[in-house]
Amino acid sequence: MHTRIPPTAGIVAGGTGQRFGGADKGWVRVAGRPLIEHTVNRVAGQCDPILINANRNLDAYRALGFGVFPDSDINNGPLAGIETLFHASLADLLLIVPIDTPLLPTDLANRLFDALTASADLAIVRTPAGPQRMHALCRRRCLERLVAARAAGLTSVGEWQADLHCAEAVFEYDTPFLNVNTPADVANVEKQLEPT
């Protein structure tokens, strides 16, 4: 039985925001607050420390009080951001989440930890819609294959994970993992944030 130690959280916020007209998605406002604040609040009780991968507005991200780490090769996709976070982290376990899922479960890290068998390299979320590969609890040993995958020209998170032993934590609902990819998604997510 392994000991439960809070993992480091790595928030991937370095994307180009093409479907938001090039805006930095971390600062897109949902229910009056930027996405980065929603995401930080969701993972803060689960992880320590929190690291942010960002390539723009670095001072604004740093003002939140967390370590901020830009990619060495900007605009090279989420694998570059994940590698950056691995290099920035000293922990054996790294919880990877994207910037654009502000409804994240507050027990995400625990659920993934429970799914992570001794032989698994990482655990990812699975919902009725399928695997949510950007929501993953990764062992440090995943970094070696990530570096190799990028050197081989791979750009997809799924391609990298296909070469790893991947466990799954099954969630019954898709809602906690709704992405804010376009302005139209903002209203949809805001409805879920409204008090019942």
pLDDT of residue 184: 84
Q: Which residue, chain included where needed, has tokens 């391609």?
A: 159
**Are the beta carbons of 46 and 9 closer than 8 angstroms?**
yes
Q: What is the mean pLDDT of the chain?
A: 91
The CATH class for the domain spanning 8-188 reads alpha beta
- Three-state secondary structure of 136-187: EEEECCHHHHHHHHHHCCCCCHHHHHCCCCEEEEECCCCHHHCCCCCHHHHH
Q: What whole-number percentage of the chain has pLDDT above 90? A: 76
Q: Provide the residue ranges of all domains of the chain, joining segments of one domain with +.
A: 8-188
**Residues 138, 127: Cα–Cα separation, whole Å:** 18
What does pTM read for this prediction?
0.92
Which tens digit of pLDDT belongs to each residue from 63-108? Answer: 999 999 999 876 578 999 999 999 999 899 999 999 999 999 999 9
The H or E element spanning position 52 is strand 50-53
- Mean pLDDT in residue range 101-120: 96
Stretch among 21-25, 38-42, 166-170 having the lowest mean pLDDT: 21-25
